[in-house]
Chains A and B, each alone.
Chain A
Amino acid sequence: MEKKLVVSSSPHLRAPETIQSIMFDVLTALFPAALAGVLLFGYSALITILLATFTAMLTEALVLRTRNIIGDGSAAVTGLLLALTLPPAPPWWLVVFGSVVAILIGKHVFGGLGSNLFNPALVGRAVLTVSWAGHMTAWAAPLDGVSAATPLAGGSASMLEMFTGTIPGSIGETSAAALLLGALWLFYKGLISWHIPVSYIATVFVMGAIQAGAGFAGPAEMLSQGLFHVLAGGLLLAAFFMATDMVTSPVTREGQVIFGAGIGIITMAIRFYGGYPEGVTFAILLMNGATPLIDNLTVPTKFGEVKA
């Protein structure tokens, strides 16, 4: 036999899915939200998205010392996610700074892909939020660009407006419809399971409803307050695209439910009692930090474990 046979360890079949295919699927899932952001907030939103994404990709390529700027696609996901959490018209240097921080501090100081403890995009956003609070809360009404308050900061909005996204807010967070469309794609591709989003959203809904109930409101008011907290702010973007980040969330299903509920509780605590109107970013970052602990507490019972 002239040609040598390949010898490798079993299994000899591998599933088609790769890290790169996962990242491209996430980018595809984020497309509706990004498109809605551009349609609602215009040219400046498009520039912000492109700038954040490209800066993230470039930073990653520099850190990895590679000419392959696309790489595994994970940097593009981080950059795009960061852009979607930014206000519609931030200064260019803010976008670049946030993106560089996300990749450098959020990801590579921990060891790069798979080793980061915290969601890189949210690390970038958190740094920007505490450093330039003014720029980070420069909200504008969609379509006409007049400055306005978000629903969580006391602005008024109907449920329908919150569903379509014609409310002030970050580029990618306002349109529930676009986010749900993207989430459907993630479910269809098997990239997220119900555990984190459902436990997170359910916790927020219940806590929102209970708070309304504590003010002796009727069931209709409780329902609408619960729903308000689910649709307001960055909650849906966070529930489907941020909290579900594989690297920074628990691996077991049980752990994911604890994780989601924990984010929900912290989010609502910040919304009710905190200094910021929105608490999603810090809620997720705090629970990211708890992930190794949750993983240790939810090690599955192995098959055949003798039940004492």
Chain B
Amino acid sequence: MAKTFKGGVHPGHFKSATAGKPIADANPPARVAVLMQQHIGAPCEPLVEVGDAVKVGQKVGDSQAFVSVPAHSSVSGKVVELRDYPHPVGRPARAVVIESDGQDTWHESVKANPPLEELSGDDIKKIIREAGIAGMGGATFPTHVKLSPPPEKPIDTVIINGSECEPFLTADHRLMLERPEAVVFGLKALMKVLGVEKGYIGVEDNKPDCVEALKKAAEGEPVEVKSFHTKYPQGAEKQLIYAFNGREVPSGGLPMDVGTVVQNAGTAVAIADAVRKGVPLLERIVTVTGPGVEAPANLRVKIGTMVSEVIAQCGGLKENARKVILGGPMMGLAQNTTEMPVIKGTSGILVLTDKEVHIHEIQPCIRCGRCVEVCPVSIMPLVIGSATEKGYPDKAEAYHAVDCIECGCCSYICPAKRPLTQWIRLSKGEILAKAKKK
């Protein structure tokens, strides 16, 4: 039996359109919009002004706050504008708009670091922070923060998350397949920072080619590759840890509370590039897919490129395209425009058509219990959903709305098509806001 967690659903893979397609470079953008907030935490302040010349890898935004990472220019050229742009995961935010000169001249700050053996843990952590690395699975939590556990919380396990449990997405799949040594190197760098002797890479068992490639790359290294039962949300951090070592991250706690740090496979590769070559996080792999895209592909896209440009390179939207989602179909966010920049957490651009997009009529709950069955955190979505619908926030709180990881399993499975995840999210937001006020 492959390892797994409690609950979860099988929404189908939908990965075949892009799983076999090697990563290709996206066309160089004529201009990029580098958002000042691409991570969870304090936004960056722009370090450049309109008219400034910038080079590839130059820091264009940074913050003094601990929970924050800098942003860099992914092209060389001239700053033409500082303006607000629509943001993939929130309200419009400030962006540094740079017109490319097409030369891609590297900035002086980008230079190779000494070999891993000669770097201390703190050196590596600093490199990671300065490279602007934030969790690339989509949550974009600043990586160096995860690597700074307080001394009373010793870390004994580092896991690279290569589950990629969201249907449709293949960005991590291709990256692990094409650059397995970088994944292993990134893991080794993380192990050094945390002082851990052995590292692990977890991959869902629907990607046997990745498992094989990673095992080969890990030969002779203190790294073990494990495969997991394919089930959504296997890649959810706390569920992954549970499947891995049976440790339950306490409610409201962090993985470090159970001595574990999890990083996404894409993040590991970004760390490898930063530590070895001194290259900050300038580009990422984006899976452009879905029935609404003419030619699905896995593209290496410069951060700040417009989503519309990326879609155009894949043959553009089909006539019947109805929904553009950044991320996967289970947790990704539907957008009302494609005129927004790709950020560090943009793992996929998914386009659905009339056929897949339904506005469901909400029917009464028939208490089938499926939502309870599939909930990976064992709460009762039907109760919280109805409490939210009827306006009983206290009941929603009593039934642990705040523990929801918003994976979407309950809404997915509900035969009455009740928007359970949405309701729980609503209550969760209100409860957290209330708690903050106190």
Listed in ascending order, the chain A residues whose CB lies under 8 Å from chain B are 1, 3-15, 17-19, 21-22, 72, 112-115, 246-253, 299-306
Instruction: Please tell me if B330 contacts chain A, counting CB pairs below 8 Å.
Output: yes
Residues of B within 8 A of A305 (CB): 248, 250-251
In whole Å, how far is A186's beta carbon from the nearest beta carbon of chain B?
12
Choose one: B249, B325, B367, B403; the contact of A12 (CB below 8 Å): B325
Given contacts A6-B322, A252-B369, are A302 and B331 in contact (CB under 8 A)? no
CA distance A21 to B325 in the complex (A): 29
Choose one: A9, A19, A247, A300; the contact of B415 (CB below 8 Å): A19
Number of A-B contacts (CB under 8 A): 157
Given contacts A6-B323, A11-B411, A305-B251, are A112 and B364 in contact (CB under 8 A)? yes
Given contacts A5-B335, A299-B399, are A11 and B380 in contact (CB under 8 A)? no
Listed by A's residue number, 18 A-B pairs whose Cβ atoms lie within 8 Å are A1-B338, A3-B321, A8-B323, A10-B406, A13-B11, A14-B358, A18-B416, A19-B363, A19-B366, A21-B415, A113-B364, A114-B364, A247-B366, A251-B372, A251-B380, A303-B6, A303-B377, A304-B248
In whole Å, how far is A19's beta carbon from the nearest beta carbon of chain B?
5
Instruction: Please tell me if B228 contacts chain A, counting CB pairs below 8 Å.
Output: no
Listed in ascending order, the chain B residues whose CB lies under 8 Å from chain A are 6, 9, 11-12, 167, 238, 242, 248-253, 317, 321-325, 329-338, 350, 352, 356-360, 363-369, 372-373, 376-380, 382, 399-400, 403, 406, 408-409, 411-417, 419, 421-422, 425
What 7 additional pairs, Cβ within 8 angstroms, besides A113-B363, A299-B399, A304-B251? A5-B334, A6-B359, A7-B323, A19-B363, A300-B372, A304-B403, A306-B251
In whole Å, how far is A3's beta carbon from the nearest beta carbon of chain B?
7
In whole Å, how far is B274's beta carbon from the nearest beta carbon of chain A?
31
Residues of B within 8 A of A19 (CB): 363, 366, 415-416
Choose one: B167, B238, B357, B377; the contact of A6 (CB below 8 Å): B357
Choose one: B324, B373, B380, B399; the contact of A5 (CB below 8 Å): B324
CA distance A12 to B419 in the complex (A): 11
In the complex, the answer to whether B380 meets A9 with C-beta atoms within 8 Å is: no
CA distance A246 to B365 in the complex (A): 10
In the complex, the answer to whether B323 meets A300 with C-beta atoms within 8 Å is: no
In whole Å, how far is A9's beta carbon from the nearest beta carbon of chain B?
4
Given contacts A15-B412, A303-B251, are A10 and B336 in contact (CB under 8 A)? no
In whole Å, how far is B324's beta carbon from the nearest beta carbon of chain A?
6
In the complex, the answer to whether B415 meets A18 with C-beta atoms within 8 Å is: yes
CA distance A306 to B248 in the complex (A): 9
Choose one: A4, A251, A299, A302; the contact of B367 (CB below 8 Å): A251
CA distance A9 to B419 in the complex (A): 8
Choose one: B9, B238, B367; the contact of A15 (CB below 8 Å): B9
In the complex, the answer to whether B412 meets A114 with C-beta atoms within 8 Å is: no
CA distance A112 to B403 in the complex (A): 31
Interface centre among B332, B367, B408 (most CB of A within 10 A): B367
Closest partner residue, chain B, to A303 (CB atom): B377
CA distance A18 to B364 in the complex (A): 11
CA distance A252 to B1 in the complex (A): 25
CA distance A114 to B331 in the complex (A): 28
In whole Å, how far is B404's beta carbon from the nearest beta carbon of chain A?
10
CA distance A21 to B333 in the complex (A): 29
Closest partner residue, chain A, to B334 (CB atom): A7
Residues of B within 8 A of A12 (CB): 323, 325, 329-330, 332, 334, 350, 352, 356-357
In the complex, the answer to whether A14 meets B337 with C-beta atoms within 8 Å is: no
CA distance A22 to B380 in the complex (A): 21
In the complex, the answer to whether A302 meets B419 with C-beta atoms within 8 Å is: no
In the complex, the answer to whether A3 meets B249 with C-beta atoms within 8 Å is: no
Closest partner residue, chain B, to A4 (CB atom): B336
Closest partner residue, chain A, to B319 (CB atom): A3
Choose one: B249, B322, B352; the contact of A304 (CB below 8 Å): B249
Given contacts A7-B336, A9-B425, are A18 and B417 in contact (CB under 8 A)? yes
In the complex, the answer to whether B380 meets A299 with C-beta atoms within 8 Å is: yes
In whole Å, how far is A248's beta carbon from the nearest beta carbon of chain B?
8
Choose one: A11, A18, A302; the contact of B403 (CB below 8 Å): A302
In whole Å, how far is B164's beta carbon from the nearest beta carbon of chain A?
16
Residues of B within 8 A of A72 (CB): 363
In the complex, the answer to whether A246 meets B336 with C-beta atoms within 8 Å is: no
CA distance A302 to B364 in the complex (A): 25
CA distance A7 to B170 in the complex (A): 23
Residues of A within 8 A of B382 (CB): 251
Closest partner residue, chain A, to B374 (CB atom): A15
CA distance A22 to B425 in the complex (A): 28
Given contacts A21-B415, A302-B251, A304-B248, are A10 and B330 in contact (CB under 8 A)? yes
CA distance A306 to B253 in the complex (A): 10
In whole Å, how far is A301's beta carbon from the nearest beta carbon of chain B?
6
Given contacts A14-B417, A252-B372, are A304 and B323 in contact (CB under 8 A)? no
In the complex, the answer to whether A246 meets B368 with C-beta atoms within 8 Å is: yes
In the complex, the answer to whether B334 meets A8 with C-beta atoms within 8 Å is: yes
In whole Å, how far is A52's beta carbon from the nearest beta carbon of chain B?
21
Residues of A within 8 A of B366 (CB): 19, 22, 113-114, 246-247
Residues of A within 8 A of B419 (CB): 9
Interface centre among A6, A299, A301 (most CB of B within 10 A): A6
CA distance A21 to B368 in the complex (A): 13
Given contacts A7-B335, A246-B368, A252-B369, are A15 and B403 in contact (CB under 8 A)? no
In whole Å, how far is A115's beta carbon from the nearest beta carbon of chain B?
7
Given contacts A5-B336, A9-B422, are A114 and B415 in contact (CB under 8 A)? no
In the complex, the answer to whether B412 meets A14 with C-beta atoms within 8 Å is: yes
In whole Å, how far is B370's beta carbon from the nearest beta carbon of chain A?
8
Residues of B within 8 A of A1 (CB): 317, 338
In whole Å, how far is B124's beta carbon from the nearest beta carbon of chain A?
30
Residues of B within 8 A of A304 (CB): 238, 248-253, 377, 403
CA distance A88 to B202 in the complex (A): 61
Closest partner residue, chain B, to A114 (CB atom): B364
In whole Å, how far is A6's beta carbon from the nearest beta carbon of chain B?
5
Interface centre among A114, A115, A248 (most CB of B within 10 A): A114
Interface centre among B317, B416, B421 (most CB of A within 10 A): B416
Residues of A within 8 A of B363 (CB): 19, 72, 113
